[in-house]
Amino acid sequence: MDRIRIVGGNELNGTLPISGAKNAALPLMIASLLTEETLTLENVPRLRDVAQLMHILSNHGVDYSVDGRRLGQDAMTGQTLHLKAATIVDTTAPYELVSKMRASFWVIGPLVARTGEARVSLPGGCAIGTRPVDFFIQGLEALGADTVIEQGYAVVKAPRGLIGNRVAFPKVSVGATHTVMMAAALAKGETIIENAAREPEVKDLADCLIGMGAKIEGAGTDTIHIQGVQRLGGHRHSVIPDRIETGTYAMAVAMTGGDVVLQGARADLLESALDVLRETGAEITQVDGGIRVYRNGNGIAPVDITTEPYPGFPTDLQAQFMALMSRSGGTSRITETIFENRFMHVQELARLGANIHVDGRTAIVEGRQELRGAQVMATDLRASVSLVIAGLAAQGETTVNRVYHLDRGFERLEEKLSRCGAEIERISA
């Protein structure tokens, strides 16, 4: 099993390219099930989750091709996918595929909308707490589908098609919003989604669906109106830059010191996180083609945060921010409101010398001037990269084990960081 070895203490300087957003690319790929024509997606990151989803979609009958890298393109340039579901050959998404990636459950909406039925295994994914599929099922039932859970599968049927309706989520769910919005695009009549997720990835999906012929208004707000159409067509769409990758590398610069331009990043996608970083003492400015992050060696100020649905501070940056606060000049409080088991990185950060006490859903971080390298174990995707960030600033050598988590969400991480002066390498087993 691969490991990542880091010798900490180097500032980060230079230009670091930001990839397309994984959390946008996955639902966009799934949207290919809604049409028999070709959906072309540009700026798709080269990640394990993307490759896994391509395998899942091909099981349903999606033909796909990947454009090769063109002469003169950087190795970090996103790939272009062409996906065509001329015929859905199988409406079952089996356990052995869905269990490897939670987002693959989202195929349930397009499958039932296009074919009138779907049989999808209950999902797996990172072990960061319960993320129930109840909202997905309730949303599809509101659109007239009959659903039942049997032998670990959600079986959904709507032989006469889906019917538009009001769908009010009791709690904000990005995945359920994606799923119901895709299903409603082909439903008869109008659907109104209330308490919808407002994340940029939801709007990116809506923009793509509109390009395919869907009638959607309000994406990016908490109320989305969808007027169903009979069919959707092909489209060409570019995936938005990854705001979580942007925030992660911005925190790495804030922690190590240095001056880095995050090429291709968009500040408007993560304003709350950037505002928090400015409070810690980092200088962040919009520059031509990206975002500049700079810290000149001044201390890191402690800041309290609470994770919230967008536009609040993202739960997917909580672990990285905790690593940053472990070297602040005081006490900070980090409250996690989205996932109940998302403090599993605390014990691993403690191995590097971090002083963190957990009280329920709040972690109290007593900043220390120095961390020291150690052997650490990754527990999930975002926890993995928090250990990398801490290792970059720790004295001595850090080895991060079980880095397959990183490959699910960060494209060429060690190459990007080494370009900016980090001493980091992948060690293959």
Q: Which residues are annotated as a binding site for phosphoenolpyruvate?
A: 22-23
357: tokens are 């006490």
**Gyration radius of the chain's alpha carbons:** 22
Q: Which of 4, 112, 118, 126 is catalytic?
A: 126
337: tokens are 């409101």
Q: Which of 276, 282, 278, 284 lies closest to 298, judged by CA? A: 282
Q: Which residues are annotated as a binding site for UDP-N-acetyl-alpha-D-glucosamine?
A: 102, 171-174, 316, 338
- Beta carbons of 43 and 287 less than 8 angstroms apart: no
Q: Annotated catalytic, 420? A: no
In the DSSP assignment, the letter for residue 267 is G
DSSP E strand boundaries for 60-124: 63-66, 79-84, 92-93, 117-121
- Beta carbons of 346 and 356 less than 8 angstroms apart: yes
- Beta carbons of 408 and 13 less than 8 angstroms apart: no
Please tell me the chain's helix, strand, coil percentages from 3-state DSSP, rounded to the nearest 5: 35, 30, 35
Number of separate helices (H) and strands (E) present in the chain: 14, 24
Q: Which residues are annotated as a binding site?
A: 22-23, 102, 171-174, 316, 338
* Cα separation, 14 vs 252, whole angstroms: 13
- Known catalytic residues are 126
